[in-house]
Structure 1
Amino acid sequence: MYSKTTRSITVTVRPAYLDGQSSPAEAHYVWAYHVRIENVGRETVQLKTRYWRITDCHGRVQEVRGPGVVGEQPVLHPGEAFEYTSGTPLSAPSGIMVGAYQMETAAGESFEVEIPAFSLDSPHQEVRLN
């Protein structure tokens, strides 16, 4: 589990390799990731946009930007949380994801909340000892 707090918004991510949806022989690896966004502060905020940077173990980078998450732009009052599960495929057996959410306060102020970097590890990756 990976967690980071930015301006009283805590983002926790739990990735999981999906063996049943992956096909290593065809260089197709799939992960789900469960995200919990919790407002531990005193002001109401709304998640407006998301940004992801996904880098596989070969250095290939994908960037994803868009409104909200899973079709929603949740409003989080103090003490509330929003959870969702999404997924990503890669053509490599491992990678790293990192990103940010653009939030907006009830007063209209925008700010960025960091999503902690987390690893996408499959049982099919080559193990290297240093």
Structure 2
Amino acid sequence: MTTQITEGIKISVECVFQPEYSNPERDHFMFAYLISIENLSDSSIKLMSRYWNIFDSIGDHNEVYGDGVVGEQPIIEPGQMHQYTSGCNLKSEMGYMEGYFNMIKLIDDSSFKVDIPRFNLIANYVLN
């Protein structure tokens, strides 16, 4: 698990290779990741958008911007957590993702950025 805290918001990421959805002969490697967003601050927050920097070890680089996460713009109260699962496919067996969430504090609508720590996407058999 990879974890980082930015402005009182704790982001934790767990990633797993999914061989059942991958096809190495066709350069298709699927990974699932679980993101946990924990509000350690004393303000209610809303996740507005996300940015991902995705790097594939064959040299591909993709940037992804979008509203919310998996179709939601969750409000997270102080002391509460929001989790979601998503996925990423690569053309190789290794890469990484990193990025940030754009959030607002509901008390005054001020915006701030919360870093998503870099996490590796590695097929299990590569490590053996």
* Bin for the TM-score computed over the shorter chain: over 0.9
* Aligned partners of 1:94 and 1:122 also within 8 Å: yes
- Identity among equivalent positions (%) equals 37
**Stretch moving more, 57-66 or 25-34:** 57-66
1:29-71 deviation line (CA, Å, top 9, x unaligned): 0000000000001011100000000001122101110000010
Give the residue type in structure 1 aligned to 2:117. Answer: P
2:42 match: 42
Q: Which runs of 5+ in 1 are unaligned?
A: none
The equivalent of 2:29 in structure 1 is 29
Looking at structure 1, the residues matched to 121 and 69 of structure 2 have their Cα atoms a distance apart, in angstroms, of 20
Taking the aligned partners of 1:125 and 1:54, their CA distance within structure 2 comes to: 19
Q: How does 1:71-86 map to 2 (within 5 A)?
A: 71-86=71-86
State the distance in 1 between where 2:94 and 2:19 align: 13
TM-score, length of structure 2 as denominator length = 0.95
Distance 1:126 1:14, change over 3 A: closer
Q: Provide closer, same or farther for how the CA distance between residues 41 and 126 of structure 1 changes in structure 2, counting only shifts above 3 A.
A: closer
1:120 and 1:90 mapped to 2: Cα distance?
9
Q: How many residues align?
A: 127
1:1-130 correspondence to structure 2 within 5 Å: 1-106=1-106, 107-123=108-124, 125=126
Please provide the CA RMSD for this pair: 1.3
